[in-house]
Amino acid sequence: MNWSEFTKWGARISEWAARYHRDIRSRPVRSQAAPGDTLKALPEHPPETGVPMEAIFDDFERIVMPGITHWQHPGFFAYFPSNATPPSILAEFLSSTIAAQCMLWQTSPAATEMETRMVDWLRQSLGLDSGFEGVIQDSASSATLAAVLTMRERALNWTGNSDGLAGQPKLRIYCSEEVHTSVDRAIWIAGIGQANLCRIPTRGPLRGMDPDALDAAIREDSAAGLRPAGIVVSVGGTGTGGTDPVGAVCDVAAAHDLYVHVDAAWAGAAMICPEFRSLWDGVEKADSIVFNPHKWLGVQFDCSAHFVKSPDDLVRTLAIRPEYLKTHGHDGIVNYSEWSIPLGRRFRALKLWFVLRTYGLEGLRQMIRNHVEWSRELYDMLVATPGFEGVTAPVLSLFTFRYMPEGTTDPDALNLRLVNAINDDGRIYLTQTRVDDALVIRFQVGQAEVTREDVLMAHEVITEIAATL
């Protein structure tokens, strides 16, 4: 392909993208493809000669699109959203065109310095104090792994990387049952081991960890010769929105000199609205925080904001400086590859810049406020409908419910049938989770272009399909 053809196809794909988003409601939300459909449609061997773009694009429509679940669909109420607003898409187009590798300041000065400014814009937007600095990671999973590695090094007096873990004291990390499974993976990768992830009992409507039980567990471990290293706090957990009492947990941590990492991957975006910040009261006491603009701020995947109180500790944990990565002749510059696990880095700050300038904080606040209001309205409608009951009340725009008509003998099986039937229907997409070992249905509003009518239509779909079971 030459650049003249690129111009033609760039315009055509832009037109296709706009049409896709305009007409997306006509598509089933979850892919209706069967396992293996896409694989069977793809040739087993690579082509020896080039193929015209017309044929490739036709095959994209024929082979790829039937196997796509439409995360940008206003009926997507599963998981958390992964939004792609128009300015974010355009910024990614530019970033892909430039194709910069932003590992060092010298490899892309504008990318580094924009990242510094954009993370600080986010810090201000969330109401965090100036003691936090930050970096853009690919995902909350990477930020949590970096935090756990920092906990490990700090607890081992910075000898884990150099000496390994053999012969070292057993480390302990604390969390509740509501944290994301990325915490488990971080424990594995950090070499701490699943057996040393201590789950603290929860209490209250927000299903947050009990600070007294946390304190007791830390004291018991210390008395047994184990070495407490840190705590991972959940704000808006994936299953039900489970939220720990951040300030109280940080006070326990301070009494034992432990590192605290706050995982607010989804819910953190809502903190641009001052009225929701009570959900993480005391967050200023934490050592690090992560939230994903790619979940609820209209910035497409991947873009995760990782705030830290002590960048020096993070860099001490992750940085390697061979001669070929040094920048000579410049003092005081930041190389964000030293703040991240991968060396290679994309120009993620550009899409943040485009989105924040296009909508402004007030536009983004209104979107989030609408989602919270509409979710609560739907919850009230469902719990008032015979045969349905609320299980966990809305945390921001996330709640759980179940279908329990009179005479139900196997509620887990019935609710799983309902979820599957709803997703096969295609108008909306939901997922299930477990609360106190009971299978329940999970509902979350967060797609950037969803309307109140889309959300309330979900009540019609859920009750209509439930009546057929």
Q: Where are the alpha helices (DSSP H) in 86-210?
A: 86-98, 109-126, 140-155, 160-163, 182-189
For residues 284 and 308, the answer to whether their CB atoms sit within 8 Å is no
Q: Is the pLDDT of residue 328 over 80?
A: no
Spelled out in words, what is the top-level CATH class assigned to the domain 101-346?
alpha beta
CB proximity list for 393: less than 8 A, separation 6 or greater? 205, 379, 399
Confidence (pTM): 0.90
Measure Cα distances from 181 to 298, 313, 412, 443, 451 in Å. 24, 24, 23, 19, 31
Q: What local confidence, expressed as pLDDT, does residue 212 receive?
A: 95
According to DSSP, residue 336 is labeled: G
Nearest Cα residue to 294 out of 284, 307, 304: 304
Where does the pLDDT of residue 332 fall: very low under 50, low under 70, confident under 90, or very high at 90 and above? Answer: low
Nearest Cα residue to 318 out of 345, 297, 339: 339
Secondary structure (3-state) at 273: coil
Task: For residues 185 and 353, give the distance between their C-alpha atoms in angstroms, rounded to a whole number.
Answer: 31
26-30, 260-264, 298-302: which has the highest mean pLDDT? 260-264
Q: Is the pLDDT of residue 330 over 60?
A: no
Beta bridge partners of 403: 388
Beta bridge partners of 379: none
Residue spans of the domains in the chain: they are 3-72, 101-346, 360-466
Question: What is the enclosing helix (H) or strand (E) of 174?
Answer: strand 171-176
For residues 346 and 299, the answer to whether their CB atoms sit within 8 Å is no
Task: For residues 21 and 328, give the distance between their C-alpha atoms in angstroms, rounded to a whole number.
Answer: 47
Q: What local confidence, expressed as pLDDT, does residue 321 receive?
A: 67
Where does the pLDDT of residue 408 fall: very low under 50, low under 70, confident under 90, or very high at 90 and above? Answer: confident
Where does the pLDDT of residue 391 fall: very low under 50, low under 70, confident under 90, or very high at 90 and above? Answer: very high
CATH fold of 3-72, please? Answer: dopa decarboxylase, N-terminal domain (1.20.1340)
Tokens read off for 378: 């739907």
Task: For residues 5 and 22, give the distance between their C-alpha atoms in angstroms, rounded to a whole number.
Answer: 26
Domains 3-72 and 101-346 share a fold: no
Task: For residues 312 and 250, give the distance between their C-alpha atoms in angstroms, rounded to a whole number.
Answer: 21
Q: What local confidence, expressed as pLDDT, does residue 324 receive?
A: 44
Q: What local confidence, expressed as pLDDT, does residue 130 receive?
A: 92
Tokens read off for 384: 């008032």
- Please state, for a pLDDT cut of 90, what percent of the chain lies above it: 69
Longest C-alpha distance within the chain, in Å?
Answer: 77
CA atoms within 13 A on the CB side of 134: 29
Task: For residues 320 and 341, give the distance between their C-alpha atoms in angstroms, rounded to a whole number.
Answer: 10
Nearest Cα residue to 212 out of 202, 221, 227, 222: 202
Average pLDDT over residues 188-210: 90
119-154 as b/e: b if 16+ CB within 10 A: bbbbbebbebeeebbbbbbbbbbbbbbbbbbbbbbb
Spelled out in words, what is the top-level CATH class assigned to the domain 360-466?
alpha beta
Q: What local confidence, expressed as pLDDT, does residue 181 receive?
A: 81
Is the link from the previous residue into 424 a cis peptide, with omega within 30 of 0? no
